[in-house]
Chains A and B, each alone.
Chain A
Amino acid sequence: MTTTNPDLQLNHRPGHIKHDGHNLTGFIIFLCSESIIFLAFFSGFALLKITAPEWLPEGVEGLETRLPLINTVVLVSSSFVAYFAERYLHKENLWGFRALWLLTMAMGTYFVYGQYVEWSELPFSLSSGVFGGTFYLLTGFHGLHVITGILLMSLMLYRSFLPNNYAKGEMGVTAVSLFWHFVDVIWIILYILIYVWQRTT
């Protein structure tokens, strides 16, 4: 655009607004918001459990904790692996990044498989009262997040093979690994609520 009056343009310093780098901000805001859904489910679970006249459905003694504990250890450790993968990327060691990143994905996949095994052996279903409903809702909703995380990670892995992809920083990897830590923290709370806190008053 041109101005016809050159006097006005004299000494004029045009201001600028950055056009990029918002993605991480946006993603963090989204994660905070997402955590509220889990908060809602957790508080609903606690409230239902405290006030229910009969918590466990007939014929159910409680939940087996050994397999889920192994699963928990795998998932939580995968967060550390993801962290070191990210460190490699910072040091521009692409192959180190890819290897550890793939390991994280494998651990996540193992977790999903473990969940599948547990689900298929349980003596109750989604419609077995509030107990069954909340169990499948919480673990299922979390499982969806794990699967989403794995899909996002494979996208990042694919992108690591594109030339010059990390020239402008590795926002995508940072975001995905943040998401992965988030999914982990959620699982720890969920594990305590569902598996550790089994006794009802």
Chain B
Amino acid sequence: MTSTNYDPRVLKALHPVPGAPDNWKRFFTFNTDAKVIGIQYIALALFFLLVGGLLAMVMRGELITPPADLVDPTVYNGLYTMHGTVMLFLFLFPILNGFNNLLIPTMIGAPDMAFPKVNAAAFWIVPVFGVVLLASFFVPGGPASAGWWSYPPVSIQNPLGHFINGEFLWILAVALSGVSSIMGAVNFVTTIIRMRAPGMGFFRMPVFVWTAWAAQTLQLIGLPALTGGAIMLLFDLSFGTSFFRPEGGGDPVLYQHFFWFYSHPAVYVMVLPVFGIFSELITVYSRKPLFGYKFVALASFVITFLGLIVWVHHMFYSGTPQWMRNIFIVTTMLIAVPTGVKVFAWLGTLWGGKIRLTTPMLFVLGGLVNFILGGITGIMLGTAPVDIHVGNTYFVVAHFHYVIFNTIGFGIFAGIYHWFPKFTGRMYYEGLGKVHFLLTFIGATLNWLPLHWAGLYGMPRRVASYDPEFAIWNVVASIGAFMVGVAAIPFILNIVSSWARGAKAPPNPWNAIGLEWLLPSPPPAENFEDDVPTVISAPYGYGLGQPLVEDEEYYVRRALEA
């Protein structure tokens, strides 16, 4: 079959056809193919990464000097609020759902998600609330500007008194995001429970699937609490109730419980799949089985469980009584144990391996080292006396950016490079990838490492201006931030040009073990269709010489010939 000779019916197909003209148009349709939806999620999320990143550039421009001189303080407050909201709800959650869409069905051998239409609907809610959120820049009074925590009473002050205001749109956007996430979570969990390939018991699932499952379980349990809190906040803002208004007998701290009951676990929702990506990539690029696979897999659910009972550590200084602080100090400390199990397992996997420092592996190792630092500062923040000093300062900002960008962001970049050939059918450019890594790593380190000291010295977070003694750390941080901004250029260049004219990717360019690598690159619409491999061994059998599935050679040949 020559590459130009397509059946006209194929060209009308909803899903992209490798090499066919006008493929890009299919990404703008209500497509129910999980792989198309996955790419839709990732592309849209990367667009919002740019938006959130630009907001951050303005913020770091403002913070390069002590006084609030670049933008008005009210504008700064709106910018930092939107930066956080865009990055979390429009970049991180969607992009990880993109990975879930691409990887869960292909890794477990399912043809698609359990509910493809729900899946597509969940995706299309994202651009809708993205527009709602961005529209809030243009309503009178400006966007929400009480931070992504949106703590009342400051968030419900509504200075202009309009019914449609920035905060109103913000709550609406967050609620829509919640609906989309729950639709996604029901879908992912059902798919994992019910649609695994024959022979794939739970302890033969790749760790990414385990972590996605653990993360989505957290969504299902945590997100409704935030939804409840958001509904009450909306009523307080717009309909005259006083759940959180002290004037009517309400309690502002109650909102904080609702908020953190979800928003602390939300960090695990984001970091768990990245732990999964780390586990997948470290094994491939060290050519070794995952050290203590079962421990690593189960640790995901231990994190899920503990993640649900640590939220009050965000409220140590909110008037929380001592007995409650003590309980949450202990639970917060405990979460270091399953996390440590994972970190040590990765180190054990590296040991004696045949390490290949490709771009994805560089991002994984960089992310891993950053995560160890971010984890340690996390433990420090879990001990109440230290938290009471550094809480709500730049130490916290530095800590969570080490987790959210320097770990999760790095893991996401690693994942994009690693699975790029699989889902686009093209190889990326290694040189550009390495430039991207170097710029990002150096920039991110310059950006967030010095801010720890600013915080230790007492610089509060969320300030538009600050005392001159904090200037030195902020200058370095701003330079680092601009470097991270510049790093987007090689990344975009790489993705766009390699997708357009990169070398054709073989089915298994990394010589990796996993069901997704038994599929052609890119996989056909229904993955294995009605000929799903039967799994006969645990994942990551590098060097063990056992086939992963029955008749492995047949599937390898089939993928090559597709």
Across-interface contacts of B220 in A (CB, < 8 A): 29, 32-33, 36
Inter-chain contact B223/A33, CB cutoff 8 Å: yes
Across-interface contacts of A92 in B (CB, < 8 A): none
How many of chain B's residues touch chain A, expressed as a range?
35 or more
Inter-chain contact B554/A9, CB cutoff 8 Å: yes
CB of B224 closer than 8 Å to a CB of A? yes
Interface centre among A12, A40, A47, A53 (most CB of B within 10 A): A40
Across-interface contacts of B229 in A (CB, < 8 A): 40
**What is the distance, in angstroms, from B252's C-beta to the closest C-beta of chain A?**
11
**What is the distance, in angstroms, from A124's C-beta to the closest C-beta of chain B?**
12
Across-interface contacts of B250 in A (CB, < 8 A): 48, 130, 133
Across-interface contacts of A134 in B (CB, < 8 A): 243
Binding stretch for chain A, among B4-12, B66-74, B182-190, B399-407:
B182-190
Inter-chain contact B532/A16, CB cutoff 8 Å: yes
CB of B240 closer than 8 Å to a CB of A? yes
CB of A161 closer than 8 Å to a CB of B? no
Q: Which of B109, B190, B196 contacts A25 (CB 8 A)?
A: B190
Inter-chain contact B242/A22, CB cutoff 8 Å: no
> Given A15-B198, A22-B190, A54-B249 in contact, is the A130-B242 Cβ separation under 8 Å?
yes
CB of B22 closer than 8 Å to a CB of A? no
Across-interface contacts of A169 in B (CB, < 8 A): none
Q: Which of B210-267 contact A (CB under 8 A)?
A: 220-225, 227-229, 231-232, 235, 239-243, 248-251, 254, 257-258, 261
Task: Report the separation of the CA atoms of residues A126 and B193 in the bound assembly, to the nearest whole angstrom.
Answer: 43
Task: Report the separation of the CA atoms of residues A32 and B223 in the bound assembly, to the nearest whole angstrom.
Answer: 12
CB of A19 closer than 8 Å to a CB of B? yes
Inter-chain contact B186/A29, CB cutoff 8 Å: yes
CB of B197 closer than 8 Å to a CB of A? yes
Task: Report the separation of the CA atoms of residues A116 and B7 in the bound assembly, to the nearest whole angstrom.
Answer: 61
Q: Which of B190, B231, B529, B534 contacts A26 (CB 8 A)?
A: B190
Inter-chain contact B198/A137, CB cutoff 8 Å: no
Task: Report the separation of the CA atoms of residues A10 and B109 in the bound assembly, to the nearest whole angstrom.
Answer: 22
Inter-chain contact B198/A22, CB cutoff 8 Å: no
> Given A12-B554, A17-B111, A37-B224 in contact, is the A44-B254 Cβ separation under 8 Å?
yes
Task: Report the separation of the CA atoms of residues A177 and B225 in the bound assembly, to the nearest whole angstrom.
Answer: 25
Inter-chain contact A40/B554, CB cutoff 8 Å: no
Task: Report the separation of the CA atoms of residues A11 and B261 in the bound assembly, to the nearest whole angstrom.
Answer: 54
Across-interface contacts of B185 in A (CB, < 8 A): 29, 33
Inter-chain contact A15/B531, CB cutoff 8 Å: yes
Across-interface contacts of A17 in B (CB, < 8 A): 109-111, 195-198, 532
CB of A30 closer than 8 Å to a CB of B? yes
Task: Report the separation of the CA atoms of residues A12 and B533 in the bound assembly, to the nearest whole angstrom.
Answer: 10
Inter-chain contact A129/B532, CB cutoff 8 Å: no
Interface centre among A8, A17, A29 (most CB of B within 10 A): A17
CB of A127 closer than 8 Å to a CB of B? yes
Closest chain B residue, CB of each to CB of A36: B224
Q: Which of B113-129 contact A (CB under 8 A)?
A: 114-115
**What is the distance, in angstroms, from A3's C-beta to the closest C-beta of chain B?**
6
Ordered by A's residue number, 23 sampled pairs between the chains whose C-beta atoms are within 8 Å are: A11-B551, A14-B532, A15-B199, A22-B191, A22-B194, A26-B114, A26-B186, A29-B185, A29-B190, A33-B224, A36-B223, A39-B225, A44-B254, A44-B258, A48-B243, A48-B249, A126-B240, A126-B241, A129-B249, A130-B242, A133-B243, A133-B250, A137-B243
Closest 3 CB pairs of A and B: A40-B228, A133-B241, A36-B224
Interface residues of B (CB under 8 A from A): 109-111, 114-115, 182, 185-187, 189-191, 193-199, 220-225, 227-229, 231-232, 235, 239-243, 248-251, 254, 257-258, 261, 529-534, 550-551, 553-554, 557-558, 561-562
Interface residues of A (CB under 8 A from B): 1, 3-5, 8-9, 11-19, 21-23, 25-26, 29-30, 32-37, 39-41, 44, 47-48, 51-55, 126-127, 129-134, 137, 141
